[in-house]
């Protein structure tokens, strides 16, 4: 063994160190929860906007298949 090591000194305030650690973990979890809440709100708003956009396109006659008069297998006027 190495002889140059200092003697063992016990930690004076383990509870303080553990308190800091668990407070940091709790703060991280709180930030993640708040972020997830706002993320879900933003996703819900985007979904509503997308639904309104798709309904408007559907009302104008644009379907999922493409533009009016175009078959499903045409891309830019070129049949594939």
Residue 70 has pLDDT above 70, yes or no: no
- Quick check: is 10 in a domain? no
- Quick check: is 37 in a domain? yes
- Quick check: is 47 in a domain? yes
- Quick check: is 52 in a domain? yes
> What residue numbers bound the domain in which 36 lies?
27-57
This prediction's pTM: 0.58
- Quick check: is 53 in a domain? yes
pLDDT in tens, 10-60: 888 889 999 999 999 999 999 999 999 999 999 999 999 999 988 888 888
**Cα–Cα distance, 47 to 55 (Å, whole number):** 12
Angle at 35 between CA 32 and CA 41, to 5 degrees: 140
Instruction: Output 67 or 48, whichever has higher pLDDT.
Output: 48
Residue 7 has pLDDT above 70, yes or no: yes
Q: b vs e for 56-80, b when ≥16 Cβ sit within 10 Å of the residue's Cβ? A: eeeeeeeeeeeeeeeeeeeeeeeee
Task: Using pLDDT thresholds of 50, 70 and 90, give the confidence band for residue 5.
Answer: confident
Number of structural domains, the chain?
A: 1
pLDDT of 29 reads: 98
- Quick check: is 34 in a domain? yes
DSSP secondary-structure letter at 67? S
């Amino acid at each position: 063994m190495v002889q140059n090591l200092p003697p063992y000194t016990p930690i004076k305030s383990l509870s303080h160190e553990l308190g800091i650690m668990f407070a940091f973990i709790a703060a991280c979890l709180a930030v993640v929860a708040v972020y997830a809440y706002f993320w879900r709100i933003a996703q819900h708003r985007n979904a509503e906007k997308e639904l309104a956009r798709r309904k408007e396109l559907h009302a104008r006659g644009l379907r999922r298949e493409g533009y009016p008069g175009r078959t499903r297998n045409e891309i830019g006027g070129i049949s594939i």
